[in-house]
């Protein structure tokens, strides 16, 4: 990609000719729209953009993008995309996954992708349910969830993708939600710009099998009280009148408090770039149960060597040390003799 | 066979055995090197314990290395050693049953103390209890002689003792009339920055050599002449190295980058090790978190226009099934190497078996056919790798290439090909529209097929206008988008099957080894048993049998000329290191009542086993 | 077949079709229930789009439900509907090709507006353009009539419209001379806490029924008499429910707890759903993080003394390969259910196929044989489940039980067995030492085998003195500890194979359906095609063919009497929903040139397809 | 197991008759000894004790224990053990795994076991290398590690098992090392007593392929300076004279400092039972690179419902609601009719 290139595409250019087949009202539509509207602004080429997905409702995403795309198998998209990204550093590789795809069957590939830090942008559509298979609970479902496979309620405590990612050493971790296009776009842009693996959790409503899973947080009525917008360099405050703030307590955890002159100075100032992930983790664990005020935005964004870059460096070092590849020499490298 | 003194021999089989810590593999390799340089044909068979180290001195801890050297073309490391070098009682006990009466045994006498004898499971000292009377036994106090030789060399006696394998090597080199030169040079290079170790090894080597020369108690000496080789440059190569280099060569001849996604597993890891040091060749190796990620990454790389390769051994192949099925459905090139080991489950991880054939053929849900090849010898691994890439790239299909634990570790001399002897592989990337939309605009349809190969276009990202989506759902013929249409699914299933079946049209004609042309019995083997079957057939012929031999490299699709060949023999014998998987395939395909000979002992067939089975088949002929 | 008015019929095939949102499955199920209660024999075939919802009104979004009701014993939902109820243009277009001339079509006339007609891909209105002239078409303004009927019922018109499927149901119930009673009762129960919805549905149902009764434009009426059933209690059952209950029954009859480890996948999830609500039966269901964990947990449960069960559909089976191989090596009971769907890869997830047979047989590395069974009909799933448990427990082996997407969702009436008719399964847990140590002390050797079954002891933890370790490495015969001895490995491999082969001695004798006893052609099928093959054979006989039918439930080991049976026919025809996997098996085993008939369209064979193939086979007879 | 039962076993009773086949000098020996000596003290029965392992050097462990045992397949032991534990709540189920087994191929099963909280004691032998396959790097190998498969050095940042476990919601997380038998025993005892899933990371020396991986921390000479002993309720101090302490910094991370009167009060007091895992996470992330002072002991020990208990409760509720199991009723539950 040359730097002179200026994209003059529109949403239509990024939309494939396939009918979109999600249920009417599904949150996936607004994520698709957010991305199709954002991509023309990123000054990247369609033919250098690839969407790789696993299996699930979310994973149908690539079919709707007029880019290169691969709809693969359940849970393996991060691994497949890694092979693509390291061999083709010229591409913009996006991974689209669901909470089951990324965190249940695919959990291991996800954590290894995150620590490996190849140049991937992973979008995790979290609807806290298995949509495609018609409504079983997922790893992010709240405990006690009654579903087809748990008629008496589920028993496991949910996985929080943000804390899991931080535990695995992720370099870019963010959260956004399907009800706010401009927030999604801002976060997607940042994720795309991050050189390395970025993970974006997207709260996504499945109106058929888990309707309203996030409405306590992101509905018009709840947002002011329950949605915490993280902004780098700014104190973490929220509420209709910014009356609440996030402060440290003396157990190392973060807590929410009502602000007044006496404690205003204690409000934590958000810093995405801290080398130590402890603060970001504390932020991810702000909620002790569901439906509590929830941070949105970039939790962590730090620079670490990108995996593919390092491979290129090693290849260069190899050539440096041993000279350009010489097959004929290689075949003789274990000692050879001549017979006349 | 009884060994005669000073005799000029056509071939000798030699086996080194000792504790895992005794350096037997190294000794064997050095002897191999010297013999190869000398010009013998040779074949080796390393045999070491499963990965966990057994307590020193026990049978479980024995490590052996067998080599056959010959003045003619040989194919195996031989059945029964003529010479056994045993560094300890366990090494003796584990191998003595392999020897024919009259064989020569050289032992490290120092190691036959009471404790070691008991540890090996002997009740009495075999050197003294008469149990070895039918052999020609020489006991040499190797430990003592080695430590003595190293006195004042700057190493502690305990460390000096470690050089005793070089003593043994020196002794054997003398016995086989070989010079020390190559070994001395190797020591020089290898221990460059450990000069005292180098010195100790040098001294031990000389001591052994001189012991042979001077000791009165020691008589027989062998002399195996060089084999007549076609002219060229030669190297000694293991199956693992040959495979690795074959893939590098395929990358070179196709102009494509090579991407290996792998997860370590014995005995496949050596390919990963070998390729990980070859980044200057545009090779990327990726040690994945598991086998699924490994094959997944290879698929991603293939989608991006690389040669996607994944290597594993048997249990790892199980885990790759689903992703291989995806590659079948995507119709992307992909090579899966399975270095087979003894199963089921974890089985016997360092031992050979050929029991993954059916799994390679059918181990995926749905109708998901793919080409399956097998390498025949260590050096054949090189061309089998290139052939696998050719098929994968030409037909846009995953290909399974079967090797095995014996091939992987065995060595043979190999004439290094000139680069321009190697086939050229053309990726034929799609470079523009190949269709029109309903309203006549140029379009790219990712599942339009080449008329002759039925291959679809390979269109890695990067080309404007060829943007397209592929996936594991059934695709509309030509168009490639998702289709649930039943008739389309049937057509696509048949097309995929026809494409794979069509690979057979690109095979060379089969060549049956039937020197007299009048055999009534045909031995059909596949893959890595080539050497042992050829040797067995040769033995049977020596015994007077008229027997033909055909070794299959292509297991799916089967060669088109195979049916006619099978039909010309009265009896077909199919020896396999499994319970009869190729036999089943041949029966189903050709409705011929082939006789299956199986062996499941984690070891190759011996010539005698094969020759005896041939004799029986001739007697039983319908 | 042309449908006659008011006729008393032996059988009728009826198909409901509409948009996914139109409630066609519900309508079909309600009609099924009523017909079953009435005493008809029946068979159903639901057919719905892959899991992603297609845009309303398109062909991709059509959901259909077919049912055949009859006064005699039938085995399929029939080939060509006599009556098609189409709720929208897409429902009509997707199904009209199935109909024979003269069939009756009832459409919701309100849905044939311009937009919907276009969406379905019609250029002109099929109700007006004469394209349906060969059928008997009735257009009923169902939407209008339903909303009218619901006026003042307390529901909004938009919601009232949703009840139009009950209008259609009412109309059809009238057409088939059925009473509304059972449906009204069901509405009562089902919508207990949504009284306005209940009321709307009730009104719509009545409206439809009355419309049938009063409308002048509507004439034909069917009357299908009850089928003659043996006495007993009956229920309508789907394959999924029958399988689930079969496992519960097996647990009951063995006294063992049942543990299901599963990961959701269509169309296997219903078994997980059904069993997850049965904890009072000592059933534990575990929704695992993936298929590997699911089968792993089942193995752990089996080790602990439970019936270990794992259920999946095709792609999931790939992932379980390695763990199944472990169970083969551990020789523990385990049941793996594969509800096959169309592959390869993701394929067509809701469509039927039988293409996992080879995978079930061979889809593991190494020699890892295991018994493979297949259920024949929805209700047969019940006894197949029990049989799978019997074999797994008796022989200490994993067993694969194959079902398929069609069986899973199809319904048939089933005589509920008395509990004491069900087989008893005895776990025979080890309860004490079974061997002696070298010095004569009592010992427990976990791989000592039962002389008749070759089964090893099952010794769950908890019993003092039986502590032992098992693993995936090769085990010493009888003793069970790790062994790398080649001869032992061969013996163990042969023993495991012999044990599985021995399962055939516990099968009942095969029963060939050959009423006249003079057939020269034998149709051999397996598993879920039972219904369609039986119907096809019946049709062929109607056409005058003398043909026999044998449906296999046991695929590995094959029944011992099978070879002799095959040999008595001049021609063996093997129809399969794959490319010929059973055919290959029979060819290899019996060297018989069976003819393979394949279909890969995500749909069962039709009777005509089978009958035509039989005719051809008779003509072609060697 | 009745409560009256009193164990009178010795190490010998818990040792099987199989030869131990690890390399001489391997750290696995001392872990084996620690456990074989501890078990007689736990008042549990051999026949009610099961060791389940995956594949690796560590995974040979069950063969050496005279208990019930299963040596299974690579990475799957937590899943297999879960099936056993939930169907047999009467058993003591131990899982033995290596860093490759538990964190590479088996990472997903591990995190799901941890959040599920069935009654398992997971012992993770971390030697930061693949031992059994003869020396490739593992997920815990330090970046830049030269091994057979990474001749130019490995590229990934290591996974830290403790932070990963905390990210996954583990209820019991601890670390110990093979050089200190009594520390191991104390930690193993606690792990065994925890009702739910406990994870113990054990630093284990592989003297053949990764000798001295932990000697900067646990060799006799380094211990005082680099090994931080966590003790519940006590300030986190270490050093030959307890001169160092762990304090919070204002980025939410923890840091090490030299103590004096001015900051002594700031030393963090260790609390294993904090509901919020933020502090434990910060502790796990105390080291920013290898070879720095490293906490040993119990990081976290909190009570959450055990998975198997909850299943039993659901079964009881089921019986309560629907009466005792009646197969004959079940078979008629979808409606039935009678034919004479
Ligand atoms: C190997 C395999 N196992 C299971 C499935 C069935 N399956 C498809 S999608 C899915 C989960 C979907 O949930 P999620 O990832 O949350 O995506 P969503 O549909 O909610 O967007 C499952 C279990 C499959 N296709 N392949
Ligand atoms: C499916 C599968 N893949 C790979 C292997 C090979 N393998 C055996 S153990 C192992 C890793 C061992 O490392 P670790 O878990 O750290 O245990 P250690 O040997 O270091 O104790 C590998 C890759 C296998 N046995 N099975
Ligand atoms: S099932 Fe849920 S997630 Fe899937 S398309 Fe429908 S609304 Fe969206
Ligand atoms: S290889 Fe390492 S971990 Fe394995 S037994 Fe030897 S020293 Fe121990
Ligand atoms: Mg979801
Ligand atoms: Mg390790």
Q: Do the bridges between strand C283-287 and strand B232-238 make them parallel or antiparallel, or are there none, so unpaired?
A: unpaired
Q: For residue A5, what pLDDT is reported? A: 62
Please list the alpha-helical segments (H only) found in C114-258.
114-119, 142-150, 157-161, 164-175, 181-190, 195-214, 239-254
Distance CA B333, CA B316 (A): 20
Any idea what the CATH number is for the domain that residue D134 is in?
A: 3.40.50.970
| D276 with A288: Cβ contact below 8 A | yes
CA distance D226 to chain B (A): 31
**Mean pLDDT calculated for residue range C322-333:** 98
Residue whose token pair is 């309860």: C431
Distance CA B556, CA A225 (A): 65
CB contact C277 to A (< 8 Å): yes
Instruction: Catalogue the E-assigned strands of B113-161.
Output: 136-140
Is the pLDDT at D6 greater than 80, yes or no?
no
Please list the alpha-helical segments (H only) found in chain D.
28-38, 77-87, 99-100, 107-116, 161-167, 181-193, 215-218, 220-226, 278-284, 307-322, 327-330
Average pLDDT, chain C: 92
Is the pLDDT at C213 greater than 80, yes or no?
no
Q: For residue C303, what pLDDT is reported? A: 98
Residue A145, both tokens: 């969830």
CB contact A141 to C (< 8 Å): no
Strand partners for B325 = none
> Is B286 in a helix, a strand, or coil?
strand
Tens of pLDDT, residue by residue over C155-177, are 887 888 889 999 999 988 888 87
Contacts of C610 (CB under 8 A, 6+ apart): C523, C532, C533, C535, C536, C537, C539, C540, C575, C597
Residue A50 lies inside a defined structural domain of this protein: yes
**Which CATH superfamily includes the segment(s) B6-224?**
Pyruvate-ferredoxin oxidoreductase, PFOR, domain III (3.40.920.10)
Distance CA C281, CA C257 (A): 8
Q: What are phi and psi of D90, to 5 degrees?
A: -75, -10
Is the pLDDT at B193 greater than 90, yes or no?
no
| A82 with B297: Cβ contact below 8 A | yes
- A85 to chain D: which residues are within 8 Å by CB? none
Cis peptide before B429 (omega within 30 of 0): no
User: Is A127 a pocket residue for ligand 3 (Cβ < 6 Å)?
Assistant: yes
Tens of pLDDT, residue by residue over A170-200, are 999 999 999 999 999 999 999 999 999 999 9
Q: Ligand 3: distance of its center to the CA of A28 in Å?
A: 8
| C301 with D339: Cβ contact below 8 A | no
First CA to last CA distance, chain D: 53
Distance CA C531, CA C606 (A): 10
**Mean pLDDT calculated for residue range C303-308:** 98
Do D337 and D193 share a structural domain? Answer: yes
Contacts of A43 (CB under 8 A, 6+ apart): A5, A6, A7
Residue whose token pair is 């018989």: C592
- D80 to chain C: which residues are within 8 Å by CB? 296-297, 299-300, 303
Q: CB-based burial of residue A227 (10 Å sphere; 0-12 exposed, 13-18 middle, 19+ buried)? A: buried
Q: For residue B155, what pLDDT is reported? A: 84
Residue whose token pair is 């394949």: C598
Q: For residue C621, what pLDDT is reported? A: 62
Is the pLDDT at A12 greater than 60, yes or no?
yes
Q: Ligand 3: distance of its center to the CA of A96 in Å?
A: 15
Using CA positions, which residue lies closest to atom 8 of ligand 4?
A: D26
Distance CA B29, CA B18 (A): 14
Tens of pLDDT, residue by residue over D230-289, are 999 999 999 999 999 999 998 999 999 999 999 999 999 999 999 999 999 999 999 877
Do D38 and D78 share a structural domain? Answer: yes
Ligand 4: list residues with CB < 6 Å: B 53; D 22-23, 26, 28, 57, 127, 131, 206-209
CB contact D168 to C (< 8 Å): no
H helix or E strand, kind and range, residue D124: strand D121-126
Do D123 and D154 share a structural domain? Answer: yes
Stronger pLDDT, B55 or C460, i.e. the higher one: C460
Is the pLDDT at B221 greater than 70, yes or no?
no
Average pLDDT, chain B: 92
**Mean pLDDT calculated for residue range B453-469:** 97
Residue A220 lies inside a defined structural domain of this protein: no
Distance CA A120, CA A118 (A): 6
- Residue numbers of the domain that contains D271: 225-300
Is the pLDDT at A328 greater than 90, yes or no?
yes
The ligand whose atoms approach the alpha carbon of D27 most closely is: 4
User: Is D133 a pocket residue for ligand 2 (Cβ < 6 Å)?
Assistant: yes
Using CA positions, which residue lies closest to atom 1 of ligand 3?
A: A131
Q: For residue C527, what pLDDT is reported? A: 98
Using CA positions, which residue lies closest to atom 8 of ligand 3?
A: A26
Q: How many domains does chain D have?
A: 2
- D152 to chain B: which residues are within 8 Å by CB? 277, 279
Tens of pLDDT, residue by residue over C32-60, are 888 888 888 888 888 887 655 677 888 88
The CATH 3.40.50.920 portion of chain C extends over 521-619
Distance CA B242, CA B248 (A): 10
Is the pLDDT at C7 greater than 50, yes or no?
no
What sign does the CA torsion over C48, C53, C56, C59 have? negative
Residue D219 lies inside a defined structural domain of this protein: no
Q: CB-based burial of residue C453 (10 Å sphere; 0-12 exposed, 13-18 middle, 19+ buried)? A: middle
Distance CA A78, CA B316 (A): 19
Q: For residue A2, what pLDDT is reported? A: 43
Q: For residue B75, what pLDDT is reported? A: 83
Q: Which atom of ligand 1 is nearest to the CA of C318?
A: 1
Residue D323 lies inside a defined structural domain of this protein: yes
Distance CA C409, CA D73 (A): 35
Q: For residue B215, what pLDDT is reported? A: 66
Is the pLDDT at C436 greater than 90, yes or no?
yes
CA distance A24 to chain C (A): 8
CA distance B529 to chain C (A): 16
Residue B117, both tokens: 């004898």
Is the pLDDT at D311 greater than 70, yes or no?
yes
Q: Ligand 2: distance of its center to the CA of B345 in Å?
A: 14
Contacts of C586 (CB under 8 A, 6+ apart): C524, C566, C572, C574, C592, C594
Is the pLDDT at C546 greater than 90, yes or no?
yes
Distance CA D255, CA D286 (A): 6
Tens of pLDDT, residue by residue over A35-71, are 999 999 999 999 999 999 999 999 999 999 999 999 9
Residue C604, both tokens: 């069962």
Q: Per CATH, the architecture of B235-421 is what?
A: 3-Layer(aba) Sandwich (3.40)
**Mean pLDDT calculated for residue range C368-387:** 97
Residue from B351, B367, B404, B438 to probe the interface with C (highest C Cβ count within 10 Å): B367
CA distance D72 to chain C (A): 5
Q: For residue B4, what pLDDT is reported? A: 31
| D136 with B264: Cβ contact below 8 A | yes
User: Is A23 a pocket residue for ligand 3 (Cβ < 6 Å)?
Assistant: yes
Is the pLDDT at A4 greater than 80, yes or no?
no
| A76 with B293: Cβ contact below 8 A | yes
Strand partners for D295 = D228
Cis peptide before B344 (omega within 30 of 0): yes
CA nearest neighbour of C499 among C363, C399, C365? C399
The DSSP line for B479-501 is T-SB---HHHHHHHHHHHHHHHH
Do D194 and D109 share a structural domain? Answer: yes
Q: Distance of CA C229 to CAs A160, B53, B324, C39, C534, Å?
A: 56, 69, 49, 8, 19
Tens of pLDDT, residue by residue over B487-526, are 999 999 999 999 999 999 999 999 999 998 999 999 999 9
Q: What are phi and psi of C113, to 5 degrees?
A: -85, 170
Is the pLDDT at B48 greater than 50, yes or no?
yes
pLDDT band at residue C215 using 50, 70 and 90 as cut-offs: low
Q: CB-based burial of residue B293 (10 Å sphere; 0-12 exposed, 13-18 middle, 19+ buried)? A: buried
**Mean pLDDT calculated for residue range A195-214:** 96
Cis peptide before B518 (omega within 30 of 0): no
Cis peptide before A316 (omega within 30 of 0): no
Stronger pLDDT, D123 or D19, i.e. the higher one: D123
The overall pTM is greater than 0.95: no
Q: For residue C6, what pLDDT is reported? A: 41
Residue whose token pair is 């101090």: D237
Q: Ligand 6: distance of its center to the CA of D213 in Å?
A: 11
Is the pLDDT at B5 greater than 50, yes or no?
no
Is the pLDDT at B53 greater than 70, yes or no?
no
CB contact A58 to C (< 8 Å): no
Chains touching C (at least 3 CB pairs under 8 A) are A, B, D
Distance CA D168, CA D170 (A): 6
- Which value does ipTM take for this structure? 0.92
- B60 to chain D: which residues are within 8 Å by CB? 19, 21
Tens of pLDDT, residue by residue over C173-205, are 888 878 888 899 999 988 988 888 999 999 999
Tens of pLDDT, residue by residue over B550-563, are 999 999 999 999 99
CB contact A164 to C (< 8 Å): no
The DSSP line for C80-137 is S-SEEEESSHHHHHHHGGGPPTT-EEEEEGGG--HHHHHHTT-SS-TTTSSTTTTSEE
The CATH 3.40.50.970 portion of chain C extends over 235-421
Do D292 and D273 share a structural domain? Answer: yes
**Mean pLDDT calculated for residue range A227-250:** 96
H helix or E strand, kind and range, residue D121: strand D121-126
Q: How far is CA D231 from the centre of its chain?
A: 18
CB contact D82 to C (< 8 Å): yes
**Mean pLDDT calculated for residue range A294-298:** 97
Q: For residue C42, what pLDDT is reported? A: 86
Please list the alpha-helical segments (H only) found in chain A.
28-38, 77-87, 99-100, 107-116, 161-167, 181-193, 215-218, 220-226, 278-284, 307-322, 327-330
What sign does the CA torsion over D180, D183, D185, D191 have? negative
Chains touching A (at least 3 CB pairs under 8 A) are B, C, D
Number of H helices, E strands in chain D: 11, 12
Do A102 and A63 share a structural domain? Answer: yes
Q: For residue B568, what pLDDT is reported? A: 96
Contacts of C303 (CB under 8 A, 6+ apart): C330, C332, C460, C461, C470, D70, D80, D83, D84
Q: What are phi and psi of A68, to 5 degrees?
A: -70, 150
- CB distance A256 to A270 below 8 Å: no
Cis peptide before C57 (omega within 30 of 0): no
Average pLDDT, chain A: 95
- CB distance D114 to D148 below 8 Å: no
CB nearest A133 (choices: C51, C285, C291): C51
Chains touching D (at least 3 CB pairs under 8 A) are A, B, C
> Is B597 in a helix, a strand, or coil?
strand
From B265, B320, B321, give the residue whose CB has the most ligand 2 atoms within 8 Å, as the site to mutate: B265
Q: Ligand 3: distance of its center to the CA of A199 in Å?
A: 22
Q: CB-based burial of residue B511 (10 Å sphere; 0-12 exposed, 13-18 middle, 19+ buried)? A: exposed
The CATH 3.40.920.10 portion of chain B extends over 6-224
CA distance B578 to chain C (A): 7
**Mean pLDDT calculated for residue range B300-319:** 98
Residue C407, both tokens: 């069986």
| A76 with B462: Cβ contact below 8 A | no
Interface size between A and B, measured as CB pairs under 8 A: 202
Segment among A69-83, C533-547, D163-177 with least mean pLDDT? C533-547
From D53, D58, D100, D131, give the residue whose CB has the most ligand 4 atoms within 8 Å, as the site to mutate: D131
Q: For residue C53, what pLDDT is reported? A: 65
**What CATH number matches the domain at B521-619, 3.40.50.720, 3.10.180.10, 3.40.50.150, 3.40.50.920?**
3.40.50.920
Is the pLDDT at A299 greater than 90, yes or no?
yes
CA distance B57 to chain A (A): 32
Is the pLDDT at C220 greater than 80, yes or no?
no
Do D293 and D186 share a structural domain? Answer: no
Tens of pLDDT, residue by residue over D83-142, are 999 999 999 999 999 999 999 999 999 999 999 999 999 999 999 999 999 999 999 999
CB contact C372 to B (< 8 Å): no
- CB distance B210 to B57 below 8 Å: no
Is the pLDDT at D2 greater than 70, yes or no?
no
Average pLDDT, chain D: 95
Q: For residue C102, what pLDDT is reported? A: 73
- B266 to chain D: which residues are within 8 Å by CB? 132-134
CB nearest A163 (choices: D153, D167, D248): D167
Q: Ligand 2: distance of its center to the CA of B529 in Å?
A: 28
């Amino acid at each position: 990609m040359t730097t002179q290139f200026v994209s003059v595409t529109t949403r239509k250019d990024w939309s494939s000719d396939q009918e979109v087949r999600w249920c009417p009202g599904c949150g996936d539509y607004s994520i698709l729209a957010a991305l199709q509207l954002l991509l023309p602004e990123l000054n990247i080429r369609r033919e250098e953009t690839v969407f790789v997905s696993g299996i699930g409702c979310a994973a149908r995403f690539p079919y709707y993008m007029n880019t290169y795309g691969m709809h693969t198998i359940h849970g393996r998209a991060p691994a497949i995309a890694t092979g693509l990204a390291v061999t083709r550093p010229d591409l913009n590789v996006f991974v689209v996954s669901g909470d089951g795809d990324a965190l249940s069957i695919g959990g291991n590939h996800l954590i290894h992708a995150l620590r490996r830090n190849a140049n991937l942008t992973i979008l995790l559509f979290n609807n806290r349910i298995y949509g495609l298979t018609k409504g079983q609970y997922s790893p992010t479902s709240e405990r006690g969830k009654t579903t087809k496979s748990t008629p008496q309620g589920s028993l496991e405590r949910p996985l929080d993708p943000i804390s899991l990612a931080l535990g695995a050493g992720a370099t870019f971790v963010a959260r956004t939600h399907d009800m706010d296009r401009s927030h999604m776009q801002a976060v997607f842009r940042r994720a795309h710009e991050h050189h390395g693996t970025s993970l974006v959790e997207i709260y996504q409503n499945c109106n058929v099998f888990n309707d309203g899973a996030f409405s306590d947080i992101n509905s018009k009525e709840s947002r002011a009280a329950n949605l915490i917008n993280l902004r780098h360099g700014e104190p973490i405050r929220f509420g209709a009148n910014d009356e609440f703030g996030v402060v440290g307590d003396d157990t190392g955890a973060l807590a929410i408090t009502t602000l007044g002159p006496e404690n205003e100075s204690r409000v934590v100032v958000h810093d995405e770039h801290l080398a130590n992930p402890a603060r970001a983790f504390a932020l991810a664990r702000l909620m002790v149960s569901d439906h509590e005020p929830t941070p949105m935005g970039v939790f962590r964004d730090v620079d670490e060597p990108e995996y593919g870059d390092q491979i290129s460096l090693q290849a260069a070092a190899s050539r440096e040390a041993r000279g350009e590849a010489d097959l004929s020499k290689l075949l003789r490298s274990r000692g050879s003799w001549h017979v006349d | 066979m009884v060994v005669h003194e000073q005799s000029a021999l056509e071939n000798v089989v030699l086996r080194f055995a000792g504790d895992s810590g005794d350096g037997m593999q190294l000794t064997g390799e050095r002897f191999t090197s010297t013999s190869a340089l000398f010009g013998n044909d040779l074949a080796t068979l390393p045999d070491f314990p499963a990965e966990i180290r057994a307590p020193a001195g026990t049978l479980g801890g024995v490590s052996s290395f067998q080599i056959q050297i010959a003045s003619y073309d040989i194919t195996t490391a031989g059945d029964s050693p003529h010479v056994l070098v045993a560094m300890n009682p366990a090494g003796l006990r584990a191998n003595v049953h392999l020897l024919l009466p009259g064989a020569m045994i050289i032992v490290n006498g120092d190691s036959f103390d009471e404790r070691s004898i008991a540890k090996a499971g002997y009740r009495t000292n075999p050197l003294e209890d008469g149990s070895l009377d039918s052999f020609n036994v020489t006991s040499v106090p190797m430990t003592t002689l080695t430590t003595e030789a190293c006195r004042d060399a700057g190493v502690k006696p305990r460390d000096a003792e470690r050089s005793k394998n070089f003593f043994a090597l020196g002794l054997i080199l003398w016995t086989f009339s070989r010079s020390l030169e190559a070994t001395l040079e190797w020591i020089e290079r290898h221990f460059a920055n450990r000069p005292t170790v180098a010195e100790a090894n040098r001294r031990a080597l000389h001591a052994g050599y001189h012991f042979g020369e001077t000791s009165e108690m020691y008589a027989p000496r062998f002399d195996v002449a060089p084999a007549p080789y076609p002219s060229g440059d030669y190297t000694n190569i293991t199956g693992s190295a040959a495979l690795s280099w074959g893939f590098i060569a395929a990358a070179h001849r196709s102009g494509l980058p090579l991407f290996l996604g792998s997860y370590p597993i014995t005995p496949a890891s050596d390919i990963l090790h070998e390729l990980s040091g070859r980044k200057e060749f545009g090779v990327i190796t990726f040690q994945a978190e598991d086998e699924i990620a490994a094959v997944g990454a290879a698929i991603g790389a293939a989608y991006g226009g690389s040669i996607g390769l994944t290597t594993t051994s048997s249990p790892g192949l199980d885990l790759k099934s689903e992703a291989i099925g995806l590659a079948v459905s995507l119709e992307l090139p992909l090579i899966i190497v399975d270095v087979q080991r003894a199963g089921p489950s974890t089985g016997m991880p360092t031992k050979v078996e050929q029991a993954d054939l059916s799994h390679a053929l059918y181990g995926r849900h749905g109708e998901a056919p793919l080409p399956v090849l097998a390498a025949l010898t260590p050096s054949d691994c090189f061309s089998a790798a290139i052939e696998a890439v050719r098929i994968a790239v030409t037909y846009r299909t995953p290909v399974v290439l079967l090797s095995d634990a014996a091939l992987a570790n065995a060595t043979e001399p190999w004439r290094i090909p000139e680069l321009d002897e190697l086939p050229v592989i053309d990726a034929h990337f799609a470079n523009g529209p190949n269709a029109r939309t309903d309203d006549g605009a140029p379009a790219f349809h990712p599942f339009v097929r080449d008329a002759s190969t039925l291959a679809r276009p390979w269109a890695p990202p990067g080309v404007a206008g060829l943007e397209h989506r592929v996936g594991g759902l059934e695709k509309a013929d030509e168009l490639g988008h998702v289709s649930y249409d039943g008739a389309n699914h049937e057509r696509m299933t048949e097309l995929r099957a026809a494409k794979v079946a069509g690979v057979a049209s690109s095979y060379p004609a089969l060549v049956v080894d039937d020197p007299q042309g009048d055999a009534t019995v045909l031995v059909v083997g596949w893959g890595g048993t080539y050497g042992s079957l050829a040797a067995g057939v040769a033995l049977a012929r020596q015994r007077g049998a008229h027997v033909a031999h055909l070794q299959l490299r292509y297991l799916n699709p089967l060669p088109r000329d195979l049916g006619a060949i099978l039909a010309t023999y009265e009896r077909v014998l199919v020896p396999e290191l499994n319970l009869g998987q190729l036999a089943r395939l041949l029966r189903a395909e050709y409705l011929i009542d082939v006789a299956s000979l199986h062996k499941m002992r984690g070891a190759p067939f011996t010539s005698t086993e094969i020759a005896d089975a041939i004799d029986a088949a001739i007697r039983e002929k319908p």
